[in-house]
Amino acid sequence: MVIEENLLYSMGASTKTYAAGETIFLEGDWPAFYYQIVKGEVKLNNYNEEGKETIQIMIEDGQSIGESLLFMEKSYPMNAVAITECEVIRLPRKAFISLLKEDAEISYEMNKCLSQRLYFKLIMTQNLSSQNPILKLIALMDYLKSFAKDQKQYSFKVPLTRQQMAGLTGLCVETTIRTIKGMERSQILKIEDRKIMY
């Protein structure tokens, strides 16, 4: 969901630039801003006791970051980290809540966005319990491809690295690479110039 930038600025928003690898917010921080990416990519992640990263979701241009927490009195249960250099609009929480109360269309679009993210979480949760890495990767690629206009076989270029796919599915990178090669042999996907076509 994209809220018109001029509208955000008129409500008191400002822009901040983050370098690749820089943290936007940390697990345990209190949600103080609505964040909307103007340019760049961000990942929401966690680390377990052994330091293994789990990527919750990847977010890009025009999408918002961690907005669901603005509706609750809870701290962030994840980190937001810039993958690339990012330009991000930050609107104070109170101004964001006022905007939603004043504008029914924006409120509706926000509900739609939150519903899509919840759907993604439900799909991934169902498949994380599976021990079959092929099913986990297919569920991820099916979800990503569901937003593409062209649904023909091999028409969708997966916009993730093998490491990102591993982080999103809970697989180790080696298993992800090995499984993708097996999926290519089974003609479930194609690899062209190291890019996965699904």
Phi, psi at residue 191, to the nearest 5°? Answer: -115, 120
Check pLDDT > 80 for residue 127: no
pLDDT score at 105: 95
Q: Decide: 64 and 35 in contact? Cβ < 8 Å.
A: yes
For the chain, the 3-state helix, strand and coil shares in percent, each to the nearest 5, are 40, 25, 35
Task: Using pLDDT thresholds of 50, 70 and 90, give the confidence band for residue 131.
Answer: confident
Q: Decide: 11 and 98 in contact? Cβ < 8 Å.
A: yes
Q: Which residues pair with 23 in a beta bridge?
A: 81
Average pLDDT over residues 143-169: 92
Check pLDDT > 80 for residue 148: yes
Position 137, amino acid? L
SS3 of 123-175: the string is HHHHHHCCCCHHHHHHHHHHHHHCCCCCCCCCCCECCCCHHHHHHHHCCCHHH
Compute and round to an integer the Cα radius of gyration of the chain.
18
37-76 pLDDT, tens digit per residue, is 999 999 999 998 888 888 888 899 989 999 999 999 899 9
pLDDT score at 126: 77
Q: Which residues pair with 35 in a beta bridge?
A: 65, 90
pLDDT score at 116: 87
Task: Using pLDDT thresholds of 50, 70 and 90, give the confidence band for residue 170.
Answer: confident
Position 34, amino acid? Y
Check pLDDT > 90 for residue 134: yes
Q: CA-CA distances (angstroms) from residue 83 to 70, 117, 122, 181?
A: 23, 19, 24, 26
Q: Decide: 109 and 67 in contact? Cβ < 8 Å.
A: no
6-37 pLDDT, tens digit per residue, is 999 999 999 999 999 999 999 999 999 999 99
